[in-house]
Amino acid sequence: MSFLLGVVIFVLALLISIMLHEAGHFLTAKKFHMKVTQFFVGFGQTLWSWTRGETEYGVKALPLGGFVKITGMTALDEVDPADEPRSFRRQPGWQRIIVLAAGSFMHFVLALVLLLVLAVGIGLANADTTTIGKVTQCVPASVTALDHASCADSRGVSPARQAGLRSGDKVISIAGTPVRSWTQLGSVIRKQPAGRAMTVVVLRAGQRVSLTVTPASIPKRQGSYLGIENTVIFQRSSPLSALSYAGSTFGEVLSNSVSAVGKLPSALPDLFAKDRSHTAAGSVTSVVGAADIAGQAVAASTGWRYAVSSLLLIVISLNIFIGAFNLLPLLPLDGGHLAVVIFERVRAWLARLRGKPDPGLVDMRRLIPVSVGVFALLVGFSLVLIAADIFNPIHLTQ
């Protein structure tokens, strides 16, 4: 039930994101007095709609996106002579650029607002502590079993459990090396030889306790395994700190989004690999995969703050990715139409310098094969990703 709740919340958040994207185009077009005839969420058969003024609003059967129909988007569109002055193609270049970029802008604004809500309202997870949050039951038999947190066909009781480590213990040192953060702690553990006993000193109920632990190993996983997980503490940020967090996280997610697009070609061979989560394909997913991960986040028994925080970060990442991807200079994406408008204005400026008339609109008929090719490529990538997410889903590491 929790898993289904996470999926439903994600789908609703995605539909809201789509509506905001189209609202960006719609509101700016209306602001510049362009004629907008349709505002729809989804594609295909119309489920229901209503007309207000000159615009028809509605929902279609396939919730795979949405669209706003603005009169005269290109030179190919047939427009009633009476509506030509209000057509998109007759407006100044700067207005057309704003309308085209407004969809991605709304994704970015939504992401920033949600980042602020996360920082101020929910709190930021601080996992950089050496306090043990959980001691695992066993040594997973494989990397895949580690991803699933499964003890089926395990390699025995976990070293931490055997040694008597407990939830709430604060690790002070490992094999004589002091540790002050979970990152440092993990690095020290991985460097220890598997099968060789070492001393772990913890602070328990105000007392120092020394325990002898023998690290284990997991096939095809680099470094030794102890069987402990850290504790997560949520701390609310001040408005100023929240702004700093929102800005830095936005930049980080944007950078990762660009990196994910660059990894697509190399990720394809690993989409159906057993250890997908530990390859380049582990950072690439479709909407189906994102919904599955959202469901896993809610289903994980780690508290409501973790669930809400995870859901928000998934929705935030998705909006930043969609906003950035949509600005790529490829037709039929908004970025492709932006590139066309910018090309038209640069060409007109060069013509003026030479004392020649404005060449006018780009002949879109020449770009139709390119647009169809890009669309087919995007659909193909999407279908492959969806198939991978159905038959070889990514599992959250716990």
What pLDDT does 397 receive? 47
pTM: 0.78
CA distances from 327 to 56, 219, 307 (A): 27, 43, 31
Domains of the chain: 95-125+237-398 (no CATH), 132-231 (2.30.42.10)
Q: Which of 22, 54, 56, 252 is catalytic?
A: 22
Q: pLDDT tens for residues 147-171?
A: 555 676 677 899 999 999 998 899 9
| Residues of the chain with confidence (pLDDT) below 70 | 127-128, 143-150, 152-153, 278, 300-302, 395-398
Instruction: Specify the 3-state DSSP secondary structure of 266.
Output: helix
What pLDDT does 257 receive? 85
- Is 22 a catalytic site residue? yes
What pLDDT does 398 receive? 38
Can you say whether the dihedral through the CA atoms of 236, 237, 242, 244 is positive or negative? Answer: negative
Q: pLDDT tens for residues 222-257?
A: 788 998 988 777 889 999 999 999 999 999 999 988
Cβ(334)–Cβ(327) under 8 Å? yes
What pLDDT does 354 receive? 94
* Residue of 260, 313, 253 lying closest to 6 (CA atoms): 313
Residue 362 tokens read as 């780009």
Enumerate residues 6+ apart whose C-beta is below 8 A from 244: none
Tokens 């057993």, located at residue: 274
Strand partners, 84: none
Enumerate residues 6+ apart whose C-beta is below 8 A from 94: none
| Burial zone of 378 (CB within 10 Å; 0-12 exposed, 13-18 middle, 19+ buried) | middle
